[in-house]
Structure 1
Amino acid sequence: MISAESTPFTQWLRGWLAILFLLLCMLICLQAKAATTEITEAELAQGQFSASSAAQGQWQKVALSDVWRRQSPCRQGIWTYRIPVSIFPDPQDRSLLIYRAGNRLRFLLGDTKIGEAGEFQNQDTDVSNHATMLKLPAASQSDGANTLYIQVAGDCRRYSGLSQMLAGTYEEIQPLHGRKVGIFIWSTVAIVVVCCILCFVSLSAAILYRSFNALLFGITCGFWALRAWLWSMHALPLPYAVWFFLIDLSFGIWMSLICILAMRINHIRLRWLELAQWITLAFFLGSSVALVFGAPPLFKALGIDLVVLAGTGALISIMVQAFRKPAPGNIAVALAGFVMLILGMYDHWNVWMTTAPDAYQRFYFTPLIVLFFILAVGIVLNLQYMRAMRSDAQYKKVLEAEVSRQRAILERHHQALAQQARQEAVTSERERIMKDMHDGLGSQLVGLMSLVQTAPQQQSEIEHELQQALDTLRATIDTLSPSGEDLTTVLAQFRFRHESRFKRAGIQLHWRVKPFSSTEWSSNGLIQFEQMIREIFTNIIKHAGASEIWVDAGTNTEDNFLFIQDNGKGFDASGNSGRGLKNLSQRATEIGIRLSIDSTPGIGTTVSLYWSLMRKN
């Protein structure tokens, strides 16, 4: 069941149709004529005449509008039209409105020059795009001027000739002239401003987003703004041939590129049709250049027809696409293109083909309707951009979700690898401890067994060996399961378990240990650290022959430190170190401790350990 509520697209379409209808109604109303006398015929003679030389001319009656290039042969140079002033209803208030005339005009009342439109002797002046108003002086009984002469200078390359005219009072003619000039000026301003804004926005988007469609749209808007600006001139800033060539260039480039762009944004991939736009554009530009060098105007008309024909094919393909796959974008372009095509053909018919008397002065719709087509294309580009932005935002959300998922997977893998590394470290340490138990505790027990069997009476020696074996076993157990994760606790536990051993060995222990700062270590790091302490004290007991040991530990501004000093016999630290010292150095390197051994024979040895704050292995 179809909902009675209109869709946003329907509302948008109705709005555009209403605007277009109001614009056409306004133009029709502005075209309405006041109660004036219409002049539809005049006498014409080739040459430049006034009242004193009129008898020399070969005058013929012609219908207005009189378009020169529709004549055979085409008129060139200066021709003079004349009309009787008796056609003006009020001899004291006489004004004349000429809808269109080209290219330059001079007005004479009898033999007296009363005005010009454009610089009559300047061939680079062109007033054919503007309505012209002439106010005649009030008639007097003595002047005897009863004929108005209109001298027209032009050629077949231009819109030369004379349109129909309106005769009446100033109050009747001036508002009509003001409306026509106002329509022309404001329509031109609207086209130039809108196209320049669209050109700037599109070229900026093309640079920022590297969009070829935006580049094409910006170029087409720029060239149509250039054409509208050039077409509004009548005092030309450059030679006429160059001026008109630029107008043709702007039209041809706009027509071809806008059709290519319209096909692209509607996803019409007909390479032959796109190639036709480029070929007809090249032919059109060639015909315009040929016209500059004197080729017949018909040759240029053929170039325009080919461009329009290729563009018509593109617009038809867009309409077919809109019918097959209706969507707001291609329907908008198809409707705007259809209206532009119909009114463009109407303008083309009036300019080049029809023999209707008023065709020469009819309103030219193409510049305005082209603006609607440009806006329709711009709307489609904007819709596509908005869809792309929404798609990009959705893609970013999906990408962020995928990144989060992958991050979670990586974290799980990292945790698994860390757990595996810890397990491998524990396994490796257990294997090492088992080897130490086998080599150390095992050999001690075997020696003790031999001593018991051979010399059971040596009780003190057996007790000493048992104590050493017990100490070795305790140290091994400590390395397997360190208590806590703080180095201060590790040192305190070591002292508790081994201080009695030092006393039996006749060694006095001086203990000055302060709490460490930020000493959170991993289990493997604590095991390695405690093993280093055990090896240091074992070496002192076995080899140093010391009577006192000083332990000093704590924290300074940069490091944690531990000093172990004895008053034993010392050794030469510069010589080759034994296996025990090499193992000690290797352990220190593995857990990031800076190890320093300072020993002097006969004085003692100091072992210094440093490690950075906030260290976690």
Structure 2
Amino acid sequence: MTDLAHHALPNRTAPNWWRSLGAALVVQAAFWLVLYPILYRATDRPETLAIEAPEVARLSSASLQDLAAATFEPVTLPHTECCEPGYRAFRFAVTLDDVPEQGLDLVPLISNDNLMTVVNGTVLRLDGRMDWDHLTYHGNNRSITQVPAGMLRPGANTFVLVAVRKFVPYIDMNPPLVGEHVLLRPILSKRAYMLGPYQDQSIAVGVVCAVLALLLLFRTDQRRFALWVFLLVLSWTLRNLYYRWVDPPYDGTTRVFLYFVLTSFLPVAWLNLANEWTPKPWPGVHRVSVLLMTLATLAFAWLLYGIGPAGYDPSGVISDTLGLTLGALAMLRLVVHLAREADPRYWEAALFGLILVLMAIEFYQQWRFDRSTGHLQMSLPFLLVAFVAAFIGRNIRLFRSMNEINQLLREQLTARENELAAQYARQGELLRRETLLDERRRVMGEMHDGIGGQLLSLLHASRHQALAPEALHDGLSEVVDELRLVIDSLDAVGSSINVAIGNFRQRMTPRLKAAGITLRYRNDLINEPTHLGPREVLHVCRIVQEAVTNALKHAHCDEIELTVAPSDDGSQLEIVVRDNGRGLDHTAGLGHGQDNMRRRAAAVGAVLTVDAAYPDRAAPGTAVRLCLPMQADPAAPVSG
């Protein structure tokens, strides 16, 4: 059994105020002068593009059809939508003189349970689901979204942020940050780290602390102190996990209820930990605090389950009041103890005091200004420092008696870790080389079979003057389009159907317009197929390119319609290219082209059909329809 040192303090005649004060000043100075500027202090607001014509509309669902039919009303930012949950569309415009080569960065700054980003009528980003009955909560995992250059255009660009709230009756809208990717991303890099990897690291630290606290609980005679250490670390870790768990197995009401319970339990745990850390705990503190927590939990249940969204604000008042009161009592308990008794645990007291100060600041900000500093949630790693300091500072005979065994185990473990690290390094290098060779072979095959053959044919025809200048120009344009498709397949956004077809549309529109052909484009795709990589997307784009090129060359049409939409049951992605030209009977030379399209369709597990677009007309036109499964068939072979 271990023996906690604070229950066997040495006798002293007077408190050593200077050491206690010095330790507290050192810890506070280290945090506020060193760690705070690095981790928490906000950077200067970056130079961003102007947000024009902000408007808000209410939607019945997060579909593009409802968005197109919505009635928008102008608003002044910042703006708060109150007081009913539901869907809101926040629309604004950004004007570009020229499209940046690497696109834009977007930081929405809108409170939500989940968010869909639409740029110029095309869905750019949707994490998870926005269906009311199957909602995922990706809104808590805020991140920076890159808008590819292919989705932008010179002049006015329309952005729409479709937000959903399942229970919370407020949607706060602040001016979003929009700027050039190369200028904005370096400035916001710390924000991206704090909102993503740092949160996951905090959860990992919390899990380690909870395991250590649980071990301490079963090894010490002072069970009550160890219990509150464990409950504090566990509740703090669960609160951090709450924000990162995007698809919990309960409804929105329960989710908000758990938020208030976890948030309110933290000050209860802090008060009891501070009380039990002292040599002479105040009697009855744990009973009264647990009773208050129980009453608060019952109040949350009645307000949230009984009243509904209207009970959100009263629940917040109860949680903030309880937190502020118990946090102040925890600080008072430490101050009273240090003022009355000499305590040799200066650094532990200083570390506990720092975290309590952060907790008090957090609840004061929530109560006074209705906003969070984020310091409390982000300070979880400091709890590990305090816990390790308390753990090492104790006289634990178990560790001292097993030093030789631990040293031997450490040496064996280090040797094994070195062997595994070397093995993983070799495997990683082999995998990297194999990946590079596969990608090189793929690109060389694309260049040889497609672009290389076309260039050789054009070179031969040019030498023998077998092609007119206009035909030679058209052939070279097709080669450039092929090269751009290959380059797109190497890009980070090469596995996105929306982005790839958007880039293709941007390239083809000027050529069609010059030929007197109008391109009508409609894209209703929100959730893209989950199994398509850059190679498969390249196949799809080449099928679309072949269909549009055939219509341009042979159909004698003045209108081409390109439609991208899911099927009625959502199991298929349908891409249709229609023209109003002469139709299949008058189209020559398409046999080889159709064979190529069907071969590419088979490579991605799709079905290609070619029919008359308008059978009842004199000029029936041609419709090329590609039906692609939204999910991979487990029994289907992987395309090579």
Q: TM-score, normalised by structure 2?
A: 0.50
Residues 332 and 159 of structure 1, relative CA distance in 2, 3 Å threshold: farther
**Corresponding residue SS for 1:287:** helix
The equivalent of 1:36 in structure 2 is: 48
Q: Is the 8 A contact 1:38 1:164 kept in 2?
A: no
Residues 52 and 276 of structure 1, relative CA distance in 2, 3 Å threshold: closer
Equivalent residues in 2 for 1:257-336, closer than 5 Å:
257-290=269-302, 291-293=304-306, 294=308, 296-308=311-323, 309-329=325-345, 332-333=348-349, 335-336=350-351
Residues 148 and 196 of structure 1, relative CA distance in 2, 3 Å threshold: closer
Quote the Cα distance in structure 2 between the aligned partners of 1:109 and 1:118: 18
**Amino acid aligned to 2:207:** C
Gaps of 5+ in 1: 1-5, 394-617
Equivalent residues in 2 for 1:166-181, closer than 5 Å:
166-176=177-187, 178-181=189-192
1:432-464: CA deviation from partner (whole Å, max 9, x where unpaired): xxxxxxxxxxxxxxxxxxxxxxxxxxxxxxxxx
The equivalent of 2:74 in structure 1 is: 60
Q: Is the 8 A contact 1:87 1:167 kept in 2?
A: no
Computed over aligned residues only, the root mean square deviation of the Cα atoms, in angstroms, reads 4.0
Q: TM-score, normalised by structure 1?
A: 0.52
Quote the Cα distance in structure 2 between the aligned partners of 1:142 and 1:38: 16
Q: Is the 8 A contact 1:100 1:132 kept in 2?
A: no
The equivalent of 1:94 in structure 2 is: 104
Gaps of 5+ in 2: 1-17, 402-640
Query: Which moved further from structure 2: 46-55 or 307-316?
Result: 46-55
Quote the Cα distance in structure 2 between the aligned partners of 1:14 and 1:224: 25
Residues 180 and 238 of structure 1, relative CA distance in 2, 3 Å threshold: farther
Residues 95 and 188 of structure 1, relative CA distance in 2, 3 Å threshold: closer
**Amino acid aligned to 2:76:** V
1:110-156: CA deviation from partner (whole Å, max 9, x where unpaired): 43333324422255312332323333354799999742222211145
Quote the Cα distance in structure 1 between the aligned partners of 2:208 and 2:190: 27
**Amino acid aligned to 1:84:** A
Quote the Cα distance in structure 2 between the aligned partners of 1:152 and 1:117: 12
Residues 89 and 162 of structure 1, relative CA distance in 2, 3 Å threshold: farther
Quote the Cα distance in structure 1 between the aligned partners of 2:241 and 2:330: 27
The equivalent of 1:255 in structure 2 is: 267
Residues 330 and 155 of structure 1, relative CA distance in 2, 3 Å threshold: farther
| 1:369 partnered with 2:373 | no
| 1:149 partnered with 2:160 | yes
Larger Cα-atom Rg: 1
Q: Is the 8 A contact 2:275 2:330 kept in 1?
A: yes
Residues 24 and 313 of structure 1, relative CA distance in 2, 3 Å threshold: same
Quote the Cα distance in structure 1 between the aligned partners of 2:234 and 2:166: 30
The equivalent of 1:553 in structure 2 is: none
Quote the Cα distance in structure 1 between the aligned partners of 2:315 and 2:242: 19
Residues 170 and 237 of structure 1, relative CA distance in 2, 3 Å threshold: farther
Residue number among 211, 232, 255 corresponding to 2:244 in the alignment: 232
Quote the Cα distance in structure 1 between the aligned partners of 2:316 and 2:355: 19
Q: Is the 8 A contact 1:103 1:158 kept in 2?
A: no
Deviation at 1:312, TM superposition (A): 1.8
The equivalent of 2:214 in structure 1 is: 203
Q: Percent of pairs identical after alignment?
A: 15
1:258-285: CA deviation from partner (whole Å, max 9, x where unpaired): 3112112113533354433112211232
Quote the Cα distance in structure 1 between the aligned partners of 2:301 and 2:253: 9
Quote the Cα distance in structure 1 between the aligned partners of 2:368 and 2:262: 23
Q: Is the 8 A contact 1:52 1:111 kept in 2?
A: no
Q: Is the 8 A contact 1:67 1:159 kept in 2?
A: yes
**Corresponding residue SS for 1:167:** strand
Residues 389 and 114 of structure 1, relative CA distance in 2, 3 Å threshold: closer
Deviation at 1:47, TM superposition (A): 2.5
The equivalent of 2:130 in structure 1 is: 120
- Count of residue pairs brought into register by the alignment: 374
Deviation at 1:20, TM superposition (A): 5.2
| 1:76 partnered with 2:85 | yes
Specify which structure has the bigger relative contact order, considering alpha-carbon pairs within 8 angstroms and separated by 6 or more residues: 2
Deviation at 1:25, TM superposition (A): 0.9
Deviation at 1:300, TM superposition (A): 1.5
Q: Is the 8 A contact 1:268 1:318 kept in 2?
A: no
